[in-house]
Amino acid sequence: MTATERRFRYCPRSLAVLMAASCMIFAPAFAQNLPKTGGKVPGPVAGGFDQVHELPPGGPAPRTPDGHPDLSGRWYPNGAGRMLQVAYPVDPVVFRQFDAKATPEEPPSFKADLPAKYTRPNPYGICDQAGTPSTTLEQISQHAPMELIQTSGRLAILYEYPLDVRMIYTNGRVHPKDPDPTFNGDSAVHWEGDTLVVDVIAIDERLRVITGAGGTGWFPSAQEHVVERFSRPSKNFLIYQVTIEDPMVLAKPWKSAPRRWSLAQSPNDEWGEVFCTLNEEPAEYRRIKEHEARTKGK
């Protein structure tokens, strides 16, 4: 396939529900609390999705030469160790990242008389921006995997959607006195037992915070402070939990539930590229193709 013919994943938001089975980008945001009666259809199911179950722990987590848990792996935001979509007839329990009854997740509490600039909605057709901690948190509804590569002195995190890469140094690096704001922020880490704690500051104020639960989102101030916790209690599971502090926006720190990710089980599970484009409307896509056809060969 030539470069000019290379395809990208295109899924207009207005058609997200209808296309949930074929487009992994815009799955409905209610995946965390699926109906208890879901997951069952009559007759045989193509792909064997009716046979998908939660993974067992899989034994102890592997460890690096320095004795810490090895967080490396390709991880899915569900309990099955594979890509799942809401449209698949899968037991709803397998979808969830946490049990809302056992580990409830409170909604964010905003300060009184908060300026509208912090809670303004994104215009229609704007792609999700990659960044910390939204890229990890929003997978509760987007369902895309992340891949962790842990080596001596660093942890690389690769996200399929939104396409993003984080490089977290674990070699004792501390925050600089005046870091430049970036979408992923400036990270400094330490270990608390078997938990890797990532302290993040200097996150760009243009990055909308997306918790992924119920569509809640807001824009941070320059004082936003994020603390992430990564742990691997067993071979097949990774736990991610984050606390967000922002004295300009939040009345109190917001803390997520411990969200569970499962290790990819298929040896043929390979990395994929998923791009979000701003040409969300079908009419705009047609105009682009028509323009390409008119200018081809010039």
Is the alpha carbon torsion for 95, 24, 278, 275 positive or negative?
positive
pLDDT tens digits for range 88-104: 888 899 999 999 999 99
3-state secondary structure of 33: helix
0.75 exceeded by pTM: yes
d(CA 73, CA 22): 25
Domain boundaries, the chain: 3-295
Strand partners, 13: none
Task: Say which residues have a Cβ less than 8 Å from residue 43's Cβ, sequence separation at least 6.
Answer: none
Asked whether the beta carbons of 56 and 236 are under 8 A apart, the reply is yes
Q: Which residues contact 141 (CB under 8 A, 6 or more apart)?
A: 27, 28, 29, 30, 31, 32, 212, 213
| pLDDT tens over the chain, length 298 residues | 444 333 334 343 333 333 333 333 333 333 344 434 344 555 566 667 778 999 999 999 999 999 999 999 999 999 999 999 888 888 899 999 999 999 999 999 999 999 999 998 877 667 777 799 999 999 998 899 999 999 999 999 999 998 999 999 999 999 999 999 999 999 999 999 999 999 999 999 999 999 976 667 899 999 999 999 999 999 999 999 999 999 999 999 999 999 999 999 999 999 888 887 765 566 777 777 888 888 876 5
Which neighbouring-strand residues pair with 151?
154
- Strand 154-159 versus strand 73-76 pairing type: unpaired
31 is written with which tokens?
A: 């995946």
- Radius of gyration of the chain, Cα coordinates, nearest whole angstrom: 20
> What's at 296, amino acid-wise?
K
> What's the pLDDT at 296?
77
Tokens, residue 24: 């992994």
Decide if 186 contacts 170 (C-beta within 8 A): no
State the Cα torsion 125-127-133-138 to the nearest 10°: 70
Please tell me the predicted confidence (pLDDT) of residue 45: 63
Residue with tokens 């899989």: 58
